[in-house]
Amino acid sequence: MRPSFIRSALSASLAATLSSVTTLALAQAPVEITVQYPYPELFEETHKQLTAEFAKVRPDIKLTYRAPYTSYEEGTQKVLREAITKQMPDVTFQGLNRIRVLVDRGIAVPFDAFIKAEKNFSEQGFHKAMFDIGTQNGKVYALPFAISLPITYYNLDLVKRAGGDPANLPRTWDEVIALAKKIDALGTDINGVTYAWDITGNWLWQAPVFSQGGTMLDAKETKVAFGGPAGEFAVDTLARLVREGGMPNLSQADMRSAFAAGKTGIHFTSTSDLTKVTGMVDGKFALKTHVFPSVRPDGKLPAGGNVAMIVATTPEKQKASWEFVKFVTGPQGAAIMAKTTGYMPPNKIANDVHMKDFYKENPNHFTAVQQLPYLTGWYAFPGENGLKITDVIKDHLQSIVSGQRAAEPRKVLGEMTQDVQKLLPRK
């Protein structure tokens, strides 16, 4: 046998072997998916822990995180822009009220086929209420990741100094404002109350409206409905917080800092802030959470928080993305989320098993759970102007909070109603 022939045969054999090794390596290479989530100040530690635990069960999927969205609005706007340039992440965490726009634009990937392919999916803690939140046009496009409700935070030390009873905290807005006025009188450096009115998506505007049985639009979504008695109650209450409760014109971050520093007696915001605020307070005063005031028997409270959505464009990435979404919204992932934030886990097993002792040890986290009977959807306005409408409402409410028009809330409401009506789609 000629040496040249032997060399050729060996080269061919080596090439075949290398080819097989390369093919095997490629087959075993993890699928990489990109993830983007909002509010790093709330969710950075959450996603660190989720990433570590997910890697243990699915080492075949690599997670790459993009810089977090600063808000739900920014998150939605970025995805809308990236859909045009084809630069979207594979998994995006969006506000509950932003599902609609991504579905209407044909960007979101439905989960129905993935859910159908799962074995015993209902036994993993997923239930109809979870699917309802993320359902649009009869299909499931999102699973809830973090659920919040509006609650009240009290500095019990200031409550006592003002003559209030920590064991009998206010349940109506009249009682809240009366106590806030007394706390505000304790000193020029003390705030009676703060209300995070500008939370994304008009969330804390919707809350008092819904609490009185009101809605944003009529059933056909053609006419503004918050201009009636429920809206009057809501706008009057906001104005009273400014005029009577001494509410300062602060940003959300400054409200949080002032409360945590012991300078505010009563603070209204989301349960999502609870873990962060508790850490910031760090034992400086006795902190207690309490229910949202004056919710009528027929009233509701909007569920805040965010959902996991898939916007990946290839079958391989979509499949890997589903595995990640399933994990973070499942029992283990939901429990990690709840313990590192203050949001409620939407997963039943997470609540019944993983969180069983947590609520006993952390009663401030249980306040929102008590309000679950009032839970309703976070409303998203229809049409191309949906996001613009939230900005219009915010601008009108700002005129009250700034003090500029705190004396004429009903007039502001009338103008706001007219401006929103002009932006609704004509059917």
Q: Judge if 30-148+303-375 and 150-302+381-423 fold alike in CATH terms.
A: yes
Q: What percent of the chain has pLDDT over 70?
A: 93
Average pLDDT for 50-76:
96
Write the DSSP symbol of residue 114.
H
Length of the chain: 427
Determine the pLDDT at residue 88: 98
Tell me the pLDDT band of 26, cut-offs 50, 70 and 90.
very low
Phi/psi of residue 376, nearest 5 degrees: -145, 175
CA–CA dist 231, 218 (Å, integer): 13
* Three-state DSSP class for residue 92: strand
CA–CA dist 393, 399 (Å, integer): 10
Reply yes or no on whether the pLDDT at 14 is more than 50.
Answer: no
Closest C-alpha among 238, 235, 221, 233 to residue 421 = 221
Least confident stretch, 97-106, 122-131, 228-237, 321-330: 122-131
- E strands within 235-394? 264-270, 287-290, 301-302, 304-310, 375-376
Fold (CATH) for 30-148+303-375: D-Maltodextrin-Binding Protein; domain 2 (3.40.190)
Q: How far apart are the first and last CA of the chain?
A: 86
> Got the DSSP string for 201-224?
GGHHHHHHHHHTT--SB-TTSSSB
Reply yes or no on whether the pLDDT at 16 is more than 60.
Answer: no
Closest C-alpha among 374, 380, 393 to residue 149 = 374
Average pLDDT for 361-388:
89
- Tens of pLDDT along 144-168? 999 899 999 999 999 999 999 999 9
Return the domain boundaries, the chain: 30-148+303-375, 150-302+381-423
Mean pLDDT of the chain: 91
150-302+381-423 CATH pick, 3.40.190.10, 3.30.390.50, 3.40.50.2000, 3.40.50.2300: 3.40.190.10
CA 286, chain centre distance (Å): 27
Per-residue burial over 367-392, b = 16 or more CB atoms within 10 Å of its CB, e = otherwise: bbeebeebbeebbbbbbebbbebbeb
Bridge partners for 307 per DSSP: 94, 144
Bridge partners for 193 per DSSP: 266
